[in-house]
Amino acid sequence: MRKLFLACIAIAMIACGSNNGGNNGDGGNGDGSGGGDGTVGDGPGGMCTAGSAQCNNCVDDDTDGKIDGFDPECSGPLDNDEGSFATGIPGDNMDAINQDCFFDGNSGAGNDGCNQHACCLLGARNTTECIAALQGLVNNPEQEGNKYKVAECFMPLGTATVPQQCKDVCGPLAPPGCDCFGCCTECAPNPANNVVECRDIALNPATSPDCDSTTIFDPTKCKPCTKVADCGGGTCGGSTCILCPGQDAGDLPPECNTPTCPVGTMPCDAAGQCPEGTFCSTGCCIGIIQ
C-alpha cells in the first residue's frame, strides 16, 4: 500500500493541473489567477497541456528532473516560472512591505482581506530587527522599518487576529505546510549530509528574491519566517503524515502507511487528477482563484 500510494503521489504531482494556462496569477505553492473576485473558481482540473504555463506544460523547464506539479517550485497550473518560487506573472506579489494573500495572483489585500507588514512574516520583534530584515529589499529600510508595529502582526508574533475574509478566501488556496502569506515548510536533501530536511522559509520573492530549491538551507537567501497558524494549509511532515513540498512518502515516519491531507482537503486521485476548481499540490487538491 505504501509503495502504491507513493506511485500515485508521483503521478499526481506530474500530471494534475488545469487546462487554463496563461498569464493569470498565483504564488508560492498554491495557485490562483490575478485580480480575481476572491472566490474559488470553477476552472477544470485535468492533465498538463503542451504549450501552457511552465508548471502545466508537461515539460521539465528548469531541467531539475521534476516536472510541473512534482517540482516544489511550482505553485499550480498558471505558474509560469518552474525554476524559482516566483511565478513569472506580472504584478504578482510585488509589494515588499505590505504582504497580502501569497496565493491569489496579485498584490493588494482588496480581494482577500489579508494584509500585514513584511517584517511580521520575517519574525521581526521590533523596529531594529525590521530595519535589518529590510536591508537590500527596499530603498529606505530605516524609514520603512520605523513604521513597523509588531503588535499589529497576526498572532503568534503580534496580537492581531486574521480577518474571516482572509481565512475564507486565502485559506483554501494554501497547500499543506504553508500559511496564507507564503511562509512554507520546504524540504530538500541537505548538502551537508544528503538527508532530506525541512525549513520554514518565506517564498515571496519580495522578501527572499534569491530563494529557490537549491538555497533552502541558506538563511541569507531563503529567509526564515514565522507562520500564521490561523490561516493556511496547516502543518506537514513528521507525525502529521501529511507530505511537505519536496517530500515523498518515504520521508514520513514508518507509522504513516498512507500519507493524508489536511482536514477539508482531499487527495489527488490515482490518475493524477483533482475535482474541478482545484489543483494537485503535494498530493492534495487545493483551490484555484479564477
Cα gap 201→216, rounded to integer Å: 7
Amino acid 13: pLDDT: 37
Instruction: Tell whether the model's pLDDT for residue 107 goes beyond 70.
Output: no
Strand partners, 154: 160
- pLDDT tens digits, 205-215: 888 888 888 89
Query: 1: Cβ–Cβ under 8 A, 6 or more apart, which residues?
Result: 257, 258
Angle at 112 between CA 274 and CA 107, to 5 degrees: 95
User: Average pLDDT, stretch 15-43?
Assistant: 34
pLDDT top residue among 201 and 59: 201
Of the chain, the percentage scoring pLDDT greater than 90 comes to 21
Find, among 50, 182, 195, the residue nearest to 118 by Cα.
182
Own/partner long-range contacts of 186-191 (Cβ < 8 Å, ≥24 apart): 186/72, 186/213, 186/216, 186/222, 186/244, 186/245, 186/246, 187/72, 187/216, 187/237, 187/244, 187/245, 187/246, 187/247, 187/251, 188/72, 188/213, 188/214, 188/216, 188/217, 188/246, 190/217, 191/217
Q: Which of 11-20, 85-94, 227-236 has the lowest mean pLDDT?
A: 11-20
pLDDT in the model for residue 46: 45
Q: Please determine, for residue 247, whether its predicted confidence score (pLDDT) is greater than 90.
A: no
**What confidence tens digit (pLDDT) does each residue in 172-205 have?**
888 888 898 889 999 989 988 988 899 999 988 8
Query: Using one digit for the tens of pLDDT, what is the confidence trace for 108-148?
Result: 545 677 888 989 988 999 999 999 999 988 889 999 999 99
Least confident residue range of 13-27, 49-63, 110-124, 129-143 = 13-27
pLDDT for the residue 110: 57
User: Whole-prediction pTM value?
Assistant: 0.75
Q: Does the structure show a pLDDT above 70 at 62? A: yes
Look over the chain and give the mean of its residue pLDDT values, rounded to a whole number. Answer: 76
